[in-house]
């Protein structure tokens, strides 16, 4: 074997070994991240500023995490006198607490009762206060609240993000040192795969951060049957005017129908009367008896 072939073979072996070492290191980081357990997480900005805490065993570093991460959701169904007013109060309660108003829909049921459904996102520390405020808007028909702890999942994702970033950095360093086109192409493929994995982890982390920092409340408002009946029984000036006009139009319609029904008979009677008036009359003198002897 020539010296050039031996050099190329040695280069290929070294590249394969470097990629294998990089993959093994990233895998080891993920395994250590999974074993981090319930170690708590500090805010993202503080973690980045302070760096990461070294492992007591002197091995791979892992994120310094504090606190418990919980996803809170609640569903409320409340019967109120005025749905529009209660909906405005719910929006104001969420916005005053530093939250936002999400999807919203309004409709009426078969009995004419108004119904509204709105999704509210509020900070975790104001979650209970907002719930109590919403329950006080009317008669509570149903309430369902859930709390899901995801601390382990947050710790795992944070550690995997850190490990994947380090893996991407190592592949980029190998690309800077590569001199052969074939090596560069292979490293680019590996870099693309690892960057895609990193973006997926970052999306998971963003979703977890959003769901653990903001609680979700789905509020359903329904109008009471009594209020609907009272509103229907109320007679306003507009209702009276509309009713009078409808009665007037209905009366004219019936008169027109009656006239249309008797029109053929009236026309026939008028024609007969006209013929009777135009008949020839005999003179009374011609019909008198002759009195001459």
SS (H, E, C) the chain: CCHHHHHHHHHHHHHHHHHHHHHHHHHHHHHHHHCCCCCCCCCHHHHHHHCCECCCCCCCCECCCCCCCEEEEEEEEEEECCHHHHHHHHHHHHHHCCCEEEEEEEEECCCCCEEEEEEEEEEHHHHHHHHHHHHCCCEEEEEEEEEEECHHHHHHHHHHHHHHHHHHHHHHHHHHHCCCHHHHHHHHHHHHHHHHHHHHHHHHHHHHHHHHHEEEEEEEEEECHHHHHHHHHCCCHHHHHHHHHHHHHHHHHHHHHHHHHHHHHHHHHHHHHHHHHCCCCCCCCCCCCCCCC
Reference 106, options 98, 97, 115, 94; nearest CA is: 115
Q: Is the pLDDT of residue 174 over 60?
A: yes
Reference 112, options 83, 78, 88; nearest CA is: 83
What is the structure's pLDDT at 47? 36
pLDDT band at 29 (very low <50, low <70, confident <90, very high): very low
What length is written for the chain? 293
Q: By the 8 A CB rule, do 18 and 174 touch?
A: yes
CA distance 88 to 82: 10
Q: Is the pLDDT of residue 39 over 50?
A: no
What is the structure's pLDDT at 191? 92
Kindly list the structural domains of the chain, giving each domain's residue range(s) and its CATH number in brackets, ordered by start: 13-66+153-211 (no CATH), 70-150+216-227 (3.30.70)
What digits encode the pLDDT tens for the residues 181-212? 988 899 999 999 999 999 999 999 999 999 99
State the Rg of the chain over Cα.
Answer: 44
What is the structure's pLDDT at 218? 95
CA distance 210 to 207: 5
What digits encode the pLDDT tens for the residues 91-102? 999 999 999 999
Angle between the 181-213 and 3-34 helix axes, to the nearest 10 degrees? 10
What digits encode the pLDDT tens for the residues 112-154? 788 999 999 999 999 999 999 998 889 999 999 999 999 999 9
Q: What integer is the mean pLDDT of 205-220?
A: 94
């Amino acid at each position: 074997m020539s010296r050039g072939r031996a050099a190329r073979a040695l280069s290929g072996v070294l590249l394969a070994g470097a990629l294998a070492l990089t993959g093994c290191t990233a895998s080891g980081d993920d395994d250590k991240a999974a074993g981090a357990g319930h170690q708590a997480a500090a805010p993202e900005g503080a973690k980045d500023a302070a760096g990461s805490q070294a492992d007591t065993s002197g091995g791979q570093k892992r994120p310094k995490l504090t606190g418990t991460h919980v996803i809170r959701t609640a569903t409320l169904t409340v019967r109120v006198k005025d749905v529009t007013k209660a909906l405005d109060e719910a929006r104001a309660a969420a916005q005053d607490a530093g939250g936002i108003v999400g999807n919203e829909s309004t409709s009426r049921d078969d009995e004419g009762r108004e119904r509204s459904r709105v999704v509210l996102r509020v900070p975790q520390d104001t979650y209970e206060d907002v719930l109590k405020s919403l329950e006080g808007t009317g008669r509570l028909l149903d309430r369902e609240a859930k709390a899901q702890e995801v601390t382990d999942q947050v710790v795992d994702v944070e550690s995997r993000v850190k490990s994947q970033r380090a893996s991407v950095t190592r592949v980029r360093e190998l690309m800077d040192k590569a001199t052969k086109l074939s090596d560069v192409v292979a490293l680019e493929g590996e870099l693309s795969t690892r960057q895609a994995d990193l973006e997926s982890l970052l999306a998971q982390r963003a979703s977890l951060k959003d769901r653990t920092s903001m609680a979700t409340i789905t509020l359903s408002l329904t109008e009471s049957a009594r209020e609907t009946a009272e509103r229907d029984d109320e007679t306003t000036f507009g209702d009276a005017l509309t009713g009078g006009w409808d009665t007037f139009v209905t009366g004219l319609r019936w008169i027109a129908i009656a006239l249309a029904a008797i029109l053929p008979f009236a026309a026939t009677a008028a024609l007969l009367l006209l013929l009777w008036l135009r008949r020839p009359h005999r003179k009374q003198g011609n019909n008198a008896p002759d009195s001459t002897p």
